[in-house]
Amino acid sequence: MARNRNRTPEGAPLPGDVLTVRIESIVFGGAGLAHLEDGRVVFVSGSIPGELAEATVDRSYPDYTEAAVTRVIEPSPDRVEPRCALFGECGGCQLQHMSYPAQLRAKEAMVREQLRRIGRLDEGRVRPIVGAAEPWGYRNHLRFSTGKKWGDVGFISRRGRGLLKVESCPIADPWVNDLLPHLQGKGAGLHQVQVRHNASTGSFLINPEIRGLHLPSGQKSYLEVLGGHRFAVSAAAFFQVNSAQAEEMVRLVGESLPARGEILVDAFAGVGTFAVVFADRFRSVIAIEESNSAARAARTNFAETPNVSLRVGKVEEVLPLLEVAPDVVLLDPPRPGCAPPVLESIIRFRPSAVVYVSCNPATLARDLRVLVDGGYNLDHVTPLDMFPQTGHVECVSRLTLADPGTLAALVSGFEVVPSDVPEEADGDPAADARRLALAKARAVAEGAPGAVVVGADTIVHDGERSYGKPGGASGATAMLHALRGRAHSVYTGVAVLSGGREMAGVSVSQVLLAPLSDAQVGAYVASGRPLDKAGAYAIQDEDVPTVAGLEGCYCSVVGLPLWKLARFLEEAGVPCRDPAATFARCGACPERPAQSPA
pTM value > 0.85: no
Phi, psi dihedral angles at 298 (to 5 degrees): -60, -40
Please give the positions annotated as active site. 359
Terminal-residue alpha carbon distance, the chain: 52
Q: Where in the chain is the domain with CATH 3.40.50.150?
A: 241-409
* Burial letters 273-310, b for 16+ CB under 10 A, else e: bbbbbbbeebebbbbbbbbebbbbbbbebbeebeebeb
* Rounded CA separation 336/348 (Å): 22
Below-70 pLDDT ranges, the chain? 1-6, 403-405, 413, 582, 595-598
Task: Provide the strand spans (E) within 208-275.
Answer: 221-226, 229-234, 261-267
DSSP state of 260: S
CB 408 within 8 A of CB 582: no
User: What 3-state class would DSSP assign to 485?
Assistant: coil
Q: What is the pLDDT of residue 578?
A: 84
Smallest CA-to-CA distance from 173 within 191, 144, 195 is with 195
Q: What is the pLDDT of residue 416?
A: 78
Q: Where in the chain is the domain with CATH 2.40.50.140?
A: 14-76
- R_g (Cα) of the chain, nearest Å: 28
Report the CATH fold assignment for 429-587: Maf protein (3.90.950)
Q: Find the DSSP H helices in 422-472.
A: 429-445
Rounded to 5°, angle at Cα 10 from 6 and 12: 80
User: What 3-state class would DSSP assign to 567?
Assistant: helix
Q: Cβ-count burial of 175 within 10 angstroms (0-12 exposed, 13-18 middle, 19+ buried)?
A: middle
Look up the CATH number of domain 241-409.
Answer: 3.40.50.150
Q: Please report, for residues 31, 137, 139, 228, 518, the alpha-carbon distance to residue 134 in angstroms, rounded to integers and kept in the order given.
A: 23, 8, 11, 21, 43
Q: Could you name the CATH architecture of 14-76?
A: Beta Barrel (2.40)
Q: Please report, for residues 32, 254, 273, 280, 538, the alpha-carbon distance to residue 277 in angstroms, rounded to integers and kept in the order given.
A: 38, 9, 6, 8, 33
List all residues 6 or more positions away from 81 whose beta carbon is below 8 Å from its beta carbon: 97
Phi, psi dihedral angles at 428 (to 5 degrees): -95, 105
* Rounded CA separation 372/486 (Å): 36
Smallest CA-to-CA distance from 456 within 410, 413, 499, 488 is with 410
* Rounded CA separation 186/414 (Å): 60
Q: Where in the chain is the domain with CATH 3.90.950.10?
A: 429-587
